[in-house]
């Protein structure tokens, strides 16, 4: 794909475009000249025995329209992009028009969001209008990863349970949406040992949530968990300040089971949620955070 953004294509497109217009003009001139004719004003071409081609000039209205089309094309290419990377005399672009329309829409709806921003995020959870707007924002921007119902998928957090990597307080949710999150676990195989030691550690990790399949290997792996405790805590309950998952519950973002845990120990994991502060306004993030907060169980919200 890098070939399509090289310096070759701009002059190529420019030459091809102007050559096409020049050819149209040549075609018009060539067909405007009256070829030799016979006495009966025909070109001499005969089909089906008696069907003769008359030698009448092109209609003036048609020639006029053709010329207007050529002139229009040249004026358009001077004013708007079309000749390679030339911006055009008006400086118009699809990106510029999109940004202008987006700013106009933002200015139009700003009073609505200003009223919401004056209220705490938690209070908007029970506001029908705020929830309706927040739902549309969620479906348009978040559902691609977290699902339309917010239940997520493998590798994408479930927003409707009580397991939150960075916490589900209003401030944490606003921070997650605005700034994004980048969670990274480095490969730990070398720090643990060989394949046998990795499996033992995996069995111990699974034992924290009652999922170990070999109690002996799990016990042997306990001493190796020290390499993981710096992030996940000595008891594997995680650390929301770092976004380190709780290993003592039954929620597995990237899949549970021995093979999945061994793979993560060996290869690590790098997950990133993009920051939305450049696409959404502060007011939109405020309302969206309220909707996401409302996805949590009522008892969990009451504790906040």
| pLDDT at residue 36, rounded to an integer | 64
Same domain? 269 vs 191: yes
User: Is the distance from CB of 261 to CB of 142 less than 8 angstroms?
Assistant: no
Same domain? 172 vs 119: yes
Distance of alpha carbon 97 from alpha carbon 104, whole angstroms:
11
Indicate which CATH number applies to the domain containing 192.
1.10.760.10
**Residues 215-250 as b or e (16 or more Cβ within 10 Å = b):** eebbebbeebbeebeeebbeebebbbeebbbbbbbe
Question: Structurally, how many domains does the chain consist of?
Answer: 3
Same domain? 131 vs 75: no
Same domain? 244 vs 292: no
Same domain? 190 vs 172: no
Residue 88 within a domain = no
Question: By residue range, what is the domain housing residue 255?
Answer: 184-273
User: Is the distance from CB of 280 to CB of 141 less than 8 angstroms?
Assistant: yes
Same domain? 164 vs 281: yes
What mean pLDDT do residues 64-76 have?
A: 95
Residue 217 scores a pLDDT above 50 = yes
Per-residue pLDDT of 6-38, as tens digits, reads: 788 889 999 999 999 999 999 998 887 766 666
Residue 31 within a domain = yes
Same domain? 239 vs 269: yes
Same domain? 49 vs 123: no
Distance of alpha carbon 193 from alpha carbon 288, whole angstroms:
45
Q: What is the pTM of this model?
A: 0.71
**Residue 45 corresponds to which tokens in the numbers above?**
């071409």
Same domain? 143 vs 288: yes
Same domain? 199 vs 219: yes
Residue 256 within a domain = yes
């Amino acid at each position: 794909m890098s070939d399509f953004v090289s310096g070759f294509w701009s002059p190529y497109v420019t030459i091809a475009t102007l050559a096409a217009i020049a050819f149209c003009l040549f075609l018009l001139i060539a067909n405007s000249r009256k070829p030799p004719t016979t006495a009966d004003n025909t070109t001499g071409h005969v089909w089906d025995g008696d069907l003769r081609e008359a030698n009448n000039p092109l209609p003036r209205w048609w020639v006029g329209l053709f010329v207007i089309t050529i002139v229009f094309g040249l004026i358009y290419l001077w004013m708007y992009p079309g000749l390679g990377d030339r911006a055009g005399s008006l400086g118009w672009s699809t990106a510029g028009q999109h940004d202008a329309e987006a700013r106009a829409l933002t200015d139009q709806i700003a009073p609505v969001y200003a009223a919401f921003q004056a209220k705490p995020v938690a209070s908007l959870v029970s506001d029908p209008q705020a929830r309706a707007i927040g739902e549309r924002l969620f479906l348009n921007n978040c559902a691609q990863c977290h699902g339309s119902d917010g239940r997520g998928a493998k590798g994408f957090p479930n927003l409707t349970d009580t397991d939150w990597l960075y916490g589900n307080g209003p401030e944490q949710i606003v921070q997650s949406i605005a700034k994004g999150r980048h969670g990274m676990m480095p490969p730990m195989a070398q720090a643990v040992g060989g394949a046998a030691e990795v499996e033992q550690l995996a069995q111990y990790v699974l034992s924290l949530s009652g999922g170990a399949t070999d109690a002996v290997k799990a016990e042997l792996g306990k001493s190796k968990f020290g390499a993981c405790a710096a992030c996940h805590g000595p008891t594997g309950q995680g650390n929301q300040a770092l976004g380190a998952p709780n290993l003592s519950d039954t929620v597995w973002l990237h899949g549970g089971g021995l093979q999945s845990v061994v793979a993560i120990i060996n290869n690590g994991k790098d997950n990133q949620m993009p920051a939305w502060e450049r696409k959404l306004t502060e007011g939109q993030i405020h309302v969206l955070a309220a909707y996401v907060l409302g996805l949590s169980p009522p008892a969990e919200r009451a504790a906040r």
